[in-house]
Amino acid sequence: MEAASGGEPPPPPPSALPQPNSSPPPTPTPTPTPSRYESQKRRDWNTFQQYLPNHKPPLTLARCSGAHVIEFLKYLDQFGKTKVHVTGCPYFGHPNPPSPCACPLKQAWGSLDALIGRLRAAFEENGGKQESNPFGTKAVRIYLREVREGQAKARGIPYEKKKRKRSTVTTATIVSTAAAVITGEAGAIDGNTNRTGVSVTAEIV
């Protein structure tokens, strides 16, 4: 005769999370989910935090300057999806090029501008002082402006509502001679623009 089967009862299943003793009963109202802006801001902040130690040489937030922020923005360009034509491209200044070209994809100015706004806020929400906020420096503002102007020219998209009616003549010409442009005529290119908006770093001190 063997000993009675059964023995010990199976251990209880791991119960749910331990409950704090003094928590109030949950209220029936649903907790407000963070807004898209808030969660995007958190993601951006995390991305930047991860970028710092991977920087060569590694950076800390305290040592981060406006020039480093600009470096970060340029680093992000590799993940961009916005075609920015170089001055030598026949589609420079074309809002809707008729065929693909080899020009690089970059982050659109609007994305960078919004990103900097979120990071600037996150920096101060995480204990940073306004006067030492690298995202609010003049260098970053200048860089963003150069990107905006460079992309506006390269993509033929005006970001400002300025009355520059004189240049609309060129637009009309481009439309009417679109077929000629496809066949390789480069005469429609605005020849006096040789700045591409991405050559700022050298001047940042």
Contact between 115 and 199 (Cβ < 8 Å): no
One of 72, 91, 109, 143 touching Zn ion (CB under 5 A) = 91
Nearest distance, CB of residue 192 and Zn ion, angstroms: 18
Residue 174 vs residues 84, 109, 171, 187: alpha-carbon distances, Å: 18, 24, 5, 10
Nearby residues of 143 by Cβ (< 8 Å), 6 or more positions away: 70, 73, 200, 204
**How many angstroms separate the CA atoms of 190 and 92, rounded?**
8
Least distance between Zn ion and beta carbon 104 (Å): 9
Of 70, 73, 89, 112, the one binding Zn ion (CB under 5 A) is 89
- The region of 43-51, 87-95, 117-125, 176-184 touching Zn ion under the rule CB under 5 A is 87-95
Closest approach of Zn ion to the CB of residue 196, in Å = 11
Three-class SS state of 54:
helix
With CB under 5 A as the contact rule, the residue among 52, 61, 76, 103 that binds Zn ion is 103
101 is a contact residue toward Zn ion (CB under 5 A): yes
Minimum CB separation of residue 150 from Zn ion in Å reads 13
Of the candidate residues 59, 69, 73, 85, the single one contacting Zn ion (CB under 5 A): 85
Taking CB under 5 A as the rule, does residue 181 contact Zn ion? Answer: no
* Alpha-carbon span 190 to 205, nearest angstrom: 32
Show the 3-state SS of 55-85: CCCCCCHHHCCHHHHHHHHHHHHHHCCEECC
Give me the residues that bind Zn ion (CB under 5 A), please: 85, 89, 91, 101, 103
